[in-house]
Structure 1
């Protein structure tokens, strides 16, 4: 009788654990993972490794990997002379994946004001920064133990009085 009560008690616990496991599987493996979105992502962009494994840009000692380094990106941006007509302040962060061939894709944009609150800059201005980032073609693939890897990268554009005053990191 005691064993029967124990079994009856354990069944709901086991069923509950199983449903929790299924609920968790719909979430990304790591915070910040970018999942493919067929509505916004180019179908011809391919990761070289599994979709479940992407390095972060900071996973090696080499840091920022762009031909000509960050100064080259700043030079290219300055040549465009972009301006937000509303003279707003804040940040636009564009996050993306660089694959093992140095090609980029799966771009995600986040905008916030100078108080780090969700905010929307002029659409044209935001679109111009996104297009600028998408067109950067000097990304250098990361390597680990002689194997080229996909990795996450981001650029944060600090906006002061409607102009980019700094690019982070």
Structure 2
């Protein structure tokens, strides 16, 4: 009888929920009301957002990478500060080609996390949010939501490379 009660107790624990969605992958971007615009909506469930490493489609942007590089060449104002390293911005593109849920990670040239001067990182973040022209990704005939990222190599306050 005691074993049965212990088993029953353990089974009840398995059914408990914390109310939080589990992450599928490291870096999943959940909605944060303090950071994200309320008008950006996914078209499908959170768990259905496609990871960029599953797409094999290349840069999903009108005009490809050269259009993105041209946009930043035209709009980014170099900052005369001796700061170098990497800035990565990840975000989601929904099935309508709209982008949202932007998250930024800043690191030095050795990939150690560190903040950049806001004149650099803030400008890159805002310009990335302003990019329009993200392509709609289809799975068969259905438009899907997907993750996208841009990585900026910074040298002495200037963008010297944009990846991927």
Q: Is 1:152 matched with 2:135?
A: no
Question: How far off its partner does 1:28 sit?
Answer: 2.1
Q: Which residue of 2 aligns with 1:33?
A: 28
Cα distance per residue 1:2-34 (max 9 Å; x no partner)? xx2432443454455455xx3595532332211
Q: Which residue of 2 aligns with 1:122?
A: 117
37, 40, 44: which is aligned to 1:42?
37
Q: Which residue of 1 aligns with 2:64?
A: 69
Q: Which residue of 2 aligns with 1:10?
A: 7
3-state DSSP class of the match of 2:35? coil
Greater shift, 99-108 or 57-66, is seen at 57-66
Q: Which residue of 2 aligns with 1:98?
A: 93
Greater shift, 139-148 or 5-14, is seen at 5-14
**Which of the pair has more CA radius of gyration?**
1
Change (3 A) 1:24 1:114: farther
138, 146, 153: which is aligned to 2:133?
138
Greater shift, 74-83 or 32-41, is seen at 74-83
Q: Is the contact between residue 88 and residue 152 of structure 2 (CA under 8 Å) also seen in structure 1?
A: yes
**1: distance between equivalents of 2:5 and 2:61?**
61
**1: distance between equivalents of 2:107 and 2:43?**
32
Change (3 A) 1:47 1:8: closer
**2: distance between equivalents of 1:132 and 1:124?**
12
Greater shift, 114-123 or 6-15, is seen at 6-15
**2: distance between equivalents of 1:76 and 1:25?**
38
